[in-house]
Amino acid sequence: MKATREEINKLVSEIRDGKPPRLQHNHSEVTYWHPAFPGFGVRQTYTGQASWIVQYKMHGRTRKQVIGDVRYLDEAEAKAEAKRLWARVMLDRADPQAAKEAARRAAKITFKKTVEEYLQDSVHRLRPKTLIKYRHQLTGYYFKPLHDLPLDEITREDVRQQLESHRPSMALTLGMTLSGLFNWAIEKERLASNPVKPSDLPKAKSRDRVLSDDEIRTIWLAMELRSAWAELPSRSGRQGGTPPVAGYSHMIQLLFLTGCRSDEIGSLTWEEVDLEKKTLAIPGTRTKTHEPLYLPLTDTAVRILKCVKRRPGVKYLFGTKPGKGVPRGIDRKEKVDSYIVKMGATPPTDWVIHDIRRTVRSKMGEIGIRPDIAERVVNHVGHRKEQERVYDRYTYAAEIRDALTRWEAHLLNNIIGEVDKTIITPISESRERRGKRGLVLATLKKGGSIMRATEVAAACGVAANYVRDALDAMATTGEVIKEGRGGGPGRSSRYLHPDNQPTTKPQEQAS
Instruction: Give the residue-averaged pLDDT of 98-120.
Output: 74
List the CATH code of the domain at 111-200: 1.10.150.130
Backbone angles phi, psi at 210, to 5 degrees: -120, 125
Name which of 23, 75, 72 is nearest 54 in CA terms: 75
> Which architecture characterizes domain 427-510 according to CATH?
Orthogonal Bundle (1.10)
Amino acid at 349: T
pLDDT tens digit sequence for 414-429 = 888 754 444 444 444 4
**94 has a pLDDT exceeding 70:** no
pLDDT for 239 equals: 40
pLDDT-wise least confident of 60-64, 262-266, 409-413? 60-64
pLDDT for 241 equals: 42
String of DSSP letters for 231-292: GSB-TTS-B----SSTTHHHHHHHHHHH---HHHHHT-BGGGEETTTTEEEE-GGGSTTS--
pLDDT for 418 equals: 55
C-alpha span between 407 and 189 (Å, rounded): 52
pLDDT for 422 equals: 45
Question: Burial of 40 by CB count in 10 Å (0-12 exposed, 13-18 middle, 19+ buried)?
Answer: buried
pLDDT for 308 equals: 84
- CATH class, range 213-419: mainly alpha
Instruction: Give the residue-averaged pLDDT of 8-18.
Output: 82
pLDDT for 215 equals: 92
pLDDT tens digit sequence for 318-369 = 876 666 677 554 557 888 888 888 777 888 988 888 899 999 999 999 999 9
**452 has a pLDDT exceeding 60:** yes
Contacts of residue 144, defined as CB under 8 A and 6 or more positions apart, other chains included, come to: none
pLDDT for 500 equals: 81
Contact in structure between 430 and 232 (CB atoms under 8 Å): yes
List the CATH code of the domain at 5-104: 3.30.160.390
pLDDT for 238 equals: 40
Dihedral in degrees, nearest 10, Cα atoms 86, 91, 97, 99: -140
C-alpha span between 407 and 210 (Å, rounded): 16
pLDDT for 222 equals: 85
CA angle, corner 71, sides to 70 and 75, nearest 5? 40
**511 has a pLDDT exceeding 60:** no
More reliable by pLDDT, 395 or 424: 395
String of DSSP letters for 58-78: ETTEEEEEEEEETTTS-HHHH
Instruction: Give the residue-averaged pLDDT of 490-499.
Output: 76
Per-residue confidence band for 407, with pLDDT thresholds at 50, 70 and 90: very high
pLDDT-wise least confident of 94-108, 189-203, 212-226? 94-108
More reliable by pLDDT, 184 or 102: 184
Q: Which residues pair with 405 in a beta bridge?
A: none
Instruction: Give the residue-averaged pLDDT of 257-284.
Output: 91
Instruction: Give the residue-averaged pLDDT of 441-455.
Output: 86
- CB atoms under 10 Å from CB of 419, counted, come to 13
- CB atoms under 10 Å from CB of 301, counted, come to 23
Instruction: State percent of the chain over pLDDT 70.
Output: 82
**507 has a pLDDT exceeding 70:** no
pLDDT for 236 equals: 39
**204 has a pLDDT exceeding 70:** no
pLDDT-wise least confident of 104-108, 422-426, 444-448, 451-455? 422-426
- Which DSSP letter does residue 44 get? E
pLDDT for 367 equals: 93
β-strands 61-69, 451-452 pairing: unpaired
Instruction: Give the residue-averaged pLDDT of 171-175.
Output: 89
pTM over 0.75: no
Provide the 3-class DSSP secondary structure of residue 440: helix
**103 has a pLDDT exceeding 60:** no
Name which of 412, 411, 413, 399 is nearest 369 in CA terms: 399
Name which of 106, 177, 108 is nearest 140 in CA terms: 177
pLDDT for 245 equals: 42
Q: Which residues pair with 451 in a beta bridge?
A: 495
Most confident of 37-41, 228-232, 368-372, 490-494: 368-372
pLDDT for 51 equals: 86
pLDDT for 181 equals: 92
Domains of the chain, by residue range, sit at 5-104, 111-200, 213-419, 427-510
Amino acid at 362: S
C-alpha span between 285 and 448 (Å, rounded): 62
Mean pLDDT over the full length of the chain: 80
